[in-house]
Amino acid sequence: MVVTDLATIINLTMPPADPTQCGPTCAADLANYIAANFMGKGVNELVTEPLEGFPTGNAQINNVCARIAQANGNHVVRDAFCGATRPTITSLTQLQTAVGLAFNSPNLVGRGNNGQGGNPASL
């Protein structure tokens, strides 16, 4: 997709309540703003990955930790990810465990068990 394609989509669909409110000039300006400020792209450059340019991996974790550092008190994400040793997360289950939301009784099944047997929903 190129920026002009994004402008066409914006022109046809934005705002959802009344797409006629943002005409071709408005749509082009908005698409160029998005491309330049969030993707580092210019007019007619190929946009292959919408999140291109955003920090990933440790750089993203460092950004999150820096923002959380301003918070006072206990913070489970800070405690899990901002220490000297960071967990390796490869699944949703590992993420739940890291932030204290693990299901401690995996043998319980069915919706009727929500909040029972160590399920964090009961906390």
Model confidence over 86-122: pLDDT tens digits? 888 888 778 888 887 776 655 555 555 555 555 555 4
Of the candidates 46, 41, 9, 13, the residue with the CA atom closest to the CA atom of residue 28: 9
> How confident is the model at residue 123, as a pLDDT?
43
SS3 percent helix, strand, coil of the chain, rounded to 5, is 50, 0, 50
Q: Return mean pLDDT, the chain.
A: 76
Q: What is the largest distance, in Å, between two alpha-carbon atoms of the chain?
A: 58
Compute CA distances 89 → 77, 92, 96, 122, whole Å.
13, 8, 10, 24
CA pseudo-torsion sign 8, 13, 14, 20 = positive
DSSP state of 82: S
Across the strands, what pairs with 2?
Answer: 46
- The mean pLDDT value for 36-53 works out to 65
C-alpha Rg value of the chain to the nearest Å: 22
> How confident is the model at residue 119, as a pLDDT?
57
> How confident is the model at residue 46, as a pLDDT?
60
